[in-house]
Structure 1
Amino acid sequence: MPLVTAGVVVLDCAEPEKLAEFYRQLLDGEQIGASANLVEIRGGDGLRLAFRRDANATPPSWPRPENSLQAHLEFLVADLDEAERRVVGLGGRPVEAGDPAGTYEERGFADPAGHSFTLRLVPSPAPKQG
């Protein structure tokens, strides 16, 4: 067994209960733990995320240049349009981070607390020939 293994990604936010619910629904997951200052979920694919209460949390300004993007989450999707509708329906918002012209292979968003994340298209494999 390795000396160190990955645990859980933790996002600081003012309202961990609300943010955990956003990601629980987005990822078809379940809440697996909660305390006064931390809520943890596991997505349908096993990804674990936790949300820690920080009354002074402020969202990053990315893509505006005042702050650099320190970290973000990336989720793989089969249908960008459907996934975007889900994100917006749950209270997330699109983040314009590039040239709006052309076909997008990925799209940037902010969750309700302002954390950045990306939905990236996973192309379906080409059907087998003959």
Structure 2
Amino acid sequence: MALIVAGVVVLDCSEPEKLAAFYKEFLDGEETDATANRVEIKGAGGMRMAFRRDVNATPPSWPRPENSLQTHLDFRVEDLDTAERKVVGLGGRPLETKDPGSPYEERGYADPSGHSFTLRLEPDTAPKQG
């Protein structure tokens, strides 16, 4: 039997209910637990996240160096444009970066509380034709 059976990514924020709603909609998930200071969700793909109340939470400033990256989430998506519309429609915002790029097509965003995350295009695994 495994010692660790599940993990949860926990983000500190001033309004956990609002941030949980953002990620619940983004991940097509459901709320699994809520207390006065913490809300937990499970995304349709199985990812578990929780949002803990911290009235003094300060959003990260990434990509600026002061109070920079505190945590970073990557989400693999099938269509970057569709995923971007969903993020922005839910209150997220694109981040401008001067990153030279990577071997993957990706875009950076901030959630409504300022936590940064990346949408990365899911690599095509279909066999080449011809």
TM-score w.r.t. structure 2 length? 0.90
- 1:97 Cα shift? 1.3
Q: Paired residue for 1:43?
A: 43
Deviation string, structure 1 residues 67-105 (Cα, Å, up to 9, x no partner): 33232111000111110010000000001112699xx71
Q: How many angstroms apart in 2 are the aligned matches of 1:109 and 1:57?
A: 19
Aligned partner of residue 51 in structure 1, secondary structure: strand
Structure 1 residue 127: Cα displacement: 4.3
Deviations 1:3-36 (A, max 9, x none): 3344211100000000000000000000011000
Cα shift at 1:66: 1.2
Unaligned runs of 5+ in 2: none
1:49-74 alpha-carbon deviations (Å, 9 max, x no partner): 00000100010010012133232111
> In structure 2, what is the Cα distance between the partners aligned to 1:75 and 1:51?
17
Match of 1:57 in 2: 57
Larger displacement relative to structure 2 (86-95 or 70-79): 70-79
Q: Does 1:84 align with 2:84?
A: yes
- Equivalence for 1:31: 31
**Residue 19 of structure 1: aligned partner:** 19
Pairwise CA distance, 1:128: 4.8
TM-score (norm 1): 0.90
User: How many equivalent pairs are there?
Assistant: 128
- Alignment partner of 1:118: what SS? strand
Q: What SS class does the counterpart of residue 82 from structure 2 fall into?
A: helix
Of all paired residues, the percent bearing the same amino acid is: 73
Equivalent position amino acid for 1:73 in 2: L
Task: Give distance in 2, aligned partners of 1:56 and 1:116.
Answer: 18
